[in-house]
């Protein structure tokens, strides 16, 4: 396995895992209950929510697959565009936070709308919290590892 794909794979695994754990924690904090159907909900993007919830463990594994597939896809995309988009080498922390906002907006405004999942209303207050959490747990690790892989030092401004 090439160093590039190993780095992308491990980065996507880390970012996807921290994102998934934060989703479980967020549901627990909001409801006081374990999110036992969270992975089924993710599978609902392909199967429809009713079918995914009734699908039990096999549907949950499908949801887990989709979650990591999406995580790896966004990680790979970042690594592929990193050397082509000059701005991305400005500041790994700022870029990581902004990439998380991009990922969140793509998921909420494009990808979810293509699925049979129920539409969500946009809430800016909730979005800010999501962007910070996703930035710290998903965006910054991806940017950090891309900087490290490509041997990029932050510019003097960053």
Report long-range pairs for 123-126 (Cβ below 8 Å, ≥24 apart). none
The stretch 8-35 carries a mean pLDDT of 94
Residue 51 to residue 59: CA distance in whole angstroms: 8
- In tens, the pLDDT along 54-85 reads 999 999 999 999 999 999 999 999 999 999 99
Residue 26 clears pLDDT 90, i.e. is over it: no
Over pLDDT 90: what percentage of the chain?
Answer: 82
Cα 77–chain centre separation: 12
Beta-carbon contacts of 126 under 8 Å, excluding residues fewer than 6 positions away, are none
Residue 156 clears pLDDT 70, i.e. is over it: no
């Amino acid at each position: 396995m090439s160093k590039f794909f190993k780095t992308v794979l491990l980065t996507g695994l880390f970012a996807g895992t921290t994102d998934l754990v934060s989703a479980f924690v967020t549901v627990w904090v909001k409801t006081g209950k374990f999110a036992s159907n969270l992975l089924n909900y993710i599978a609902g993007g392909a199967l429809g929510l009713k079918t995914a919830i009734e699908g039990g463990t096999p549907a949950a594994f499908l949801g887990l697959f989709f979650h990591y597939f999406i995580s790896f896809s966004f990680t790979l995309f970042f690594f592929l565009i990193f050397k082509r988009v000059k701005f991305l080498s400005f500041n790994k922390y700022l870029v990581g936070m902004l990439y998380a906002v991009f990922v969140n907006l793509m998921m909420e405004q494009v990808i979810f709308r293509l699925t049979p999942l129920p539409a969500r209303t946009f809430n800016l207050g909730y979005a800010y919290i999501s962007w910070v959490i996703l930035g710290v747990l998903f965006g910054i690790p991806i940017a950090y590892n891309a900087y490290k892989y490509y041997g990029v030092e932050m510019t003097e401004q960053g």
